[in-house]
Structure 1
Amino acid sequence: MNAEAKKRYFQELTLNLRHEGFTVKPETEDGLLPVELNGRRLCLALDTGGVRYRREDVSGDVRSEALEQVLDIAKITGEYMSQMETAPQLTAASLEGDYRLLTDFNGVVLAGHPTQFGVQFITWERVQNRTALHQGNYYGPSDGAGSYTAAKQGFAVRSGLIPRSALFTQEQLAETYRCIRETLESACPITDERQKCLESAAEQIEHGVPDLAARAALSNQREMELTAMESPQDSGMQFS
């Protein structure tokens, strides 16, 4: 990776990490990007899409999970920034600006558009003998690395690579995750095979929904509020 490509990658990675609440410090003399959590060094990001860390900096469940999150973000960011560096310009009637053609299938394109707030992704349909674009679906850049994941899924469905019924929404996955966790944490006995299957599914959802914790917490809060509203104590009713 040349110096300019590295600079662009670190800029994009910084935006994506800050979106998830991490603190990113200026690049070190060794060419590494320091990442902090709660005011304490967590790891050093490399321009290869990986990280370097000390064992004592990631001890404990919270910091260990945070490291996994940084790794996921770095991997996703590295994937699409690598594509952005080599992708050709997307040309079409009335299209102005820097738009890179990431992929094209069945009359649908996925483009990347660099902005000061991060890369924005768009899917369009090719029309007028492939000379123009129609009905753009925009992803991010305000959603961080999740914008790219959502854009890829949107492209796969829109182009016909994957049927819409084969994909779950982020909300559906969050609710499924809650049900899995409730089953695993309950006192009801389950077979080892089922436990392994549920644990594997939960882990897969954790990697597939960037803001899973927030979605699950919000869902749980709504249920608690509903329970409180329906509680006899809150309705003023008394029983003897």
Structure 2
Amino acid sequence: MHNATEAAIVEDSQENIDSITTEKVESSTTTEQIESITTTKFENITTQTTQTSTTTARSTLCVDQDFECCPDGKTYAKGSDFEGCNTTVARVPSTGKASSHTFAGVCELEKDAGSCSKYVNMWAYDRQQGKCVRFWYGNCEGNGNRFETEQQCQETCISPKGIEVCLLSKVTGPCHANANRYYYDREKGECQQFHYGGCNGNANNYETMEKCQSSCVKETVGKNSTEVQIIDRL
């Protein structure tokens, strides 16, 4: 009887040991799985962040180049006909009609390469830089801020003829002179003061309020109201 009791105790103890060992193994496996998943997610996030940072850096560097980057997004182009780019990239005639708009509103649009990849070199107005810049256009879609020549871009967005100069938006330019100037605000229908950086910008930029008003507005003072309208100088 004594031996049977001891055998039962030993058997119970062995079962407890086996149970504890199994739990430890399962716990260890679960911990390893969690660590593996966490590591994988961290690596994915790190990779995505690195890729995003690299793309942003490339985009910024491309904007600073005279001909921006080649269609691969990383090689600096050395000319408007893909000089310096991979020789497998062929220049094709433009089928995307350049902007024929004369309304200054197109100058406020961001340059848009479109969704195609038959790249041609075009010009667009960059409001932040206050000047016309080259960019690669994919030859489909895009928007009206797209010109075949720098002159076309400048005549539309920097120094248009006639009344359209008064429709241009205020542009402070990239410099920091902080000079007092005046521009015509087409929404308010009046000349407003602004701080001009001293370089680039556009022709809607006058040294005095009087020059702005004489170029863009005239006042017709009535008995009970003042009518402000754009002078038609076309």
Relative contact order, CA 8 A, sep 6+: which one is greater? 2
Note whether the superposition's TM-score is higher than 0.5: no
Structure with higher Rg: it is: 2
